[in-house]
Amino acid sequence: MTQSTSLVILAAGIGSRYGGIKQADSFGPSGEWLMDYGIYDSIQAGFTKVVIITRKDLRDVLYEHLNKWWGDKIEIEFVFQTPPAQHPDRVKPWGTGQAVLSTKDVVKEPFAIINADDFYGRKAYLAMGKFLQSVDPKALHFSMVGYPLMETLSDAGSVARGICNVDADGKLISVVEKTKILQSGANIVNEENEANPEILDPKGFVSMNFWGFTPALFPELVGIWDEFYAANKNELKAEFYIPSAVTNLMQKKNAIVDVLPDGNDWMGVTYSQEKDMVMQKLHQLVSSGEYPSGLS
């Protein structure tokens, strides 16, 4: 018997560098959003439900589009990333960890999370679906799709990436966020310290926020979040990130994270200049028959 699995889509971001609402922007030849391709691929991989995490001001536009495209194909639920009481001058959301925590009352099965504004490639969904179908729902046994760093850069500017340290058995040891990664001559470097840039392994895995979790995550995440919020409730920009929470559980609760080496064909739009490139590649995938026109 196969177990139910959910795809949780993070669609509450502001997209300040993009200059618009990229999670609801058209990229495909028939007006498809990037998350439409993720939903299509997840259905092919056997996922049974989609949960959209968003803001109340985006709910109507997301509901209209997704209900029209997917309402008769897969169950869809909406959850709002409602911030807790916070400093009156704070605008920034509390991050991916707090977003995922907002789904704890509707997600009762193994689940994956993705960004609404990334294209991850069919192979990644198939690998994640296989993992989630086989994992013990009660175990702190998680997964992450790894993408080679060199395939996740941008010609438009620097990017932030979670650099992964992986052991010989394919288990995650750590994720370290590097915030100013770019191509510099023959090397890929992190220029957070411009006077002494750090050379990075181009073939090393990075996290593109495609994680697989069991429901056992939620009780642990509540405690980690409560501790984080108590220490940061008056901060204007502090964020509670999923990689930090996972690292905490690996260190303190012996959580296991399988790194799935199936990341390829990733595309994203950190900057508005990247939209034309992504649109062109999606048109090519449709023309080649990889995806049907209109995803139907």
Q: How many residues does the chain have?
A: 296
pLDDT for the residue 18 = 54
Bigger pLDDT: 40 vs 91? 40
Mean pLDDT, rounded, of the chain: 93
pLDDT for the residue 272 = 83
Tell me whether strands 49-54 and 6-11 are parallel, antiparallel or unpaired. Answer: parallel
- Cβ atoms < 10 Å from Cβ of 104: 15
Which stretches does DSSP call E strand in the chain?
A: 6-11, 49-54, 75-80, 111-115, 118-119, 141-148, 159-166, 172-184, 187-190, 198-200, 205-213, 256-260, 267-268
**pLDDT confidence bin for 16, thresholds 50/70/90:** low
Q: pLDDT digit string (tens) for 204-216?
A: 999 999 999 999 9
- pTM summary value: 0.94
Q: pLDDT digit string (tens) for 106-125?
A: 999 999 999 999 999 999 99
Q: Which of the 8 DSSP states describes residue 65?
A: H
pLDDT for the residue 21 = 76
Q: What is the mean pLDDT of residues 28-38?
A: 96
Percent of the chain with pLDDT over 90: 84
Q: pLDDT digit string (tens) for 225-238?
A: 999 999 999 999 89
Percent of the chain with pLDDT over 70: 97
Residue 1 has pLDDT above 70, yes or no: no
Residue 128 has pLDDT above 60, yes or no: yes
Rounded Cα distance, 58 and 68, in Å: 16
Partners of residue 146 on adjacent β-strands? 207
pLDDT for the residue 55 = 87
Cβ-contact 149, 203 below 8 angstroms: yes
Rounded Cα distance, 131 and 118, in Å: 21
Cβ-contact 85, 232 below 8 angstroms: no
Residue 85 has pLDDT above 90, yes or no: no
Rounded Cα distance, 18 and 115, in Å: 14
Q: What is the mean pLDDT of residues 69-93?
A: 88
Q: Which of the 8 DSSP states describes residue 278?
A: H
Q: What is the mean pLDDT of residues 47-71?
A: 94
Token pair, residue 225, equals 């979040």
Residue 17 has pLDDT above 60, yes or no: no
